[in-house]
């Protein structure tokens, strides 16, 4: 029988379709795993934001991985409360974002205030490391990212918004 620890290990190989260097564990969206019997398992996930289109693909990937392990009754349940936060991301995941060219979220004490995402926010360029960057658009390639440009190397980049 596959145990809960084995299932968590499987999730290391299920990747976010929007940021394919991040596993669903790196994102911190898997909240709970309940093995109910040899055939039945329930997985509880929280989207990075309400209405995230990647959640359907992620849910299907979870189902397929568990079906391959012999589970015939797989339920993937989405919960919105508590709301996902970038605090749930792994430190490894944040480093993977940076290596991929996406600025990882800043620490909450710097940006998660009512004044969040103002142009004076210091977001480090993932390409050259400069903090001499500017906000181009509050929305980047997906709604959970903002578009910035580095004033030093001139490269545009996404910033994974803190929330």
Residue 110: what pLDDT?
A: 47
Structural domain total, the chain: 2
| Residues 112 and 148 both lie in one domain | yes
Helices (H), the chain: 4-10, 24-27, 54-68, 91-100, 108-111
Q: How many CA atoms lie within 13 A of 118 on its CB side?
A: 8
Tell me how far the alpha carbon of residue 16 is from its chain's centroid.
7
| Residues 36 and 97 both lie in one domain | no
- Strand 156-160 and strand 102-103: the pairing is parallel
Residue 54: what pLDDT?
A: 92
| Residues 90 and 144 both lie in one domain | yes
| Residues 10 and 69 both lie in one domain | yes
DSSP state, residue 62: H
Residue 109: what pLDDT?
A: 47
User: pLDDT under 70 in the chain at which residues?
Assistant: 1, 108-120
Q: What domain range includes position 61?
A: 4-78
- Domain limit, last residue, from 49, 78, 107: 78
| Residues 62 and 104 both lie in one domain | no
Query: How far is residue 150's CA from residue 99's CA, in Å, rounded to a whole number?
Result: 16
Q: How many CA atoms lie within 13 A of 74 on its CB side?
A: 17
- Domain limit, last residue, from 48, 78, 108: 78
The closest of 75, 55, 87, 65 to 8, measured between CA atoms, is 65
- Domain limit, last residue, from 16, 48, 78: 78
């Amino acid at each position: 029988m596959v145990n809960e620890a084995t299932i968590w290990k499987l999730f290391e190989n299920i990747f976010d379709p929007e940021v394919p260097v991040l596993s669903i564990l790196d994102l911190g969206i898997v909240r709970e795993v309940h093995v109910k019997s040899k055939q039945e398992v329930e997985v509880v996930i929280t989207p990075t934001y309400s209405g995230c289109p990647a959640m359907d693909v992620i849910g299907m990937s979870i189902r397929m991985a568990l079906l391959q392990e012999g589970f015939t009754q797989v339920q993937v349940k989405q919960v919105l409360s508590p709301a996902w936060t970038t605090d749930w991301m792994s430190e490894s995941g944040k480093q993977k974002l940076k290596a991929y060219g996406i600025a990882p979220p800043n620490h909450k004490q710097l940006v998660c205030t009512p004044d969040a995402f103002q142009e004076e926010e210091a977001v480090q360029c993932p390409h050259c490391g400069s903090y001499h960057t500017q906000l181009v658009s509050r929305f980047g390639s997906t709604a959970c990212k903002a578009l910035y440009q580095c004033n030093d190397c001139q490269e545009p980049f996404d910033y994974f918004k803190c929330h």
